[in-house]
Amino acid sequence: MTAIAIPARPRAGAAPSHRSRRSADRETRRAPLALVEAPSRRAAKQRRRFTALGSAAVLAVFTIVAFHALLAQSQVAIDRLDQRTATAEQRYEQARYEHAVLASPERIVQRAAELGLVAPAGPPTAIPVANDLPAPPEGTSSTLHGWTEVKPTLVAAP
């Protein structure tokens, strides 16, 4: 594509110049005509490189923002779990305290007295049982009885 430069004309309302015709011709000669061409391959390559770098920068910023949002959501979940853990630990400690208070010997003696129980006068005595007692087992437990017969079948098993 070729462009044509047209010399500038004096404006209609402009005052005549003092310059001579010769100096005006020199100025027009000093402004050479320039050939306007389609964008070169180099300019197109630079434009593509700039577009690629801009896209990469936008993608990087978007990725960073997405990770920050994910971290913030995870931190909120962790804070909730911490709160639930602290509440559960507090309930556990309160239950342990109540158990310790209720299981104290003083409390048991007091409750027994409220129910009308009294301490025995002497130690407990053994009372014989009239029926026959079962015989104690002979030897050791029977769970391993016959292991020599079972072991050969286990060796071949996978």
Q: What pLDDT does 125 receive? A: 87
Give pTM, 2 decimals: 0.41
From CA 123, how far away is CA 113, in angstroms rounded?
Answer: 19
Q: What pLDDT does 2 receive? A: 59
DSSP letter for each residue of 79-102: HHHHHHHHHHHHHHHHHHHHHHHH
Q: Which residues of 113-152 are buried (b: 16+ CB within 10 A; e: fewer)?
A: eeeeeeeeeeeeeeeeeeeeeeeeeeeeeeeeeeeeeeee
From CA 53, how far away is CA 58, in angstroms rounded?
Answer: 9
Asked if residues 36 and 2 have their Cβ atoms less than 8 Å apart, the reply is yes
DSSP letter for each residue of 18-40: SS-HHHHHHHHHHS------PPP
pLDDT (tens digit per residue) in 140-154: 666 666 666 666 667
Q: What pLDDT does 54 receive? A: 96
Q: What pLDDT does 11 receive? A: 59
Q: What is the mean pLDDT of the chain?
A: 80
Q: What pLDDT does 41 receive? A: 82
**pLDDT bucket at 134, cuts 50 / 70 / 90:** confident
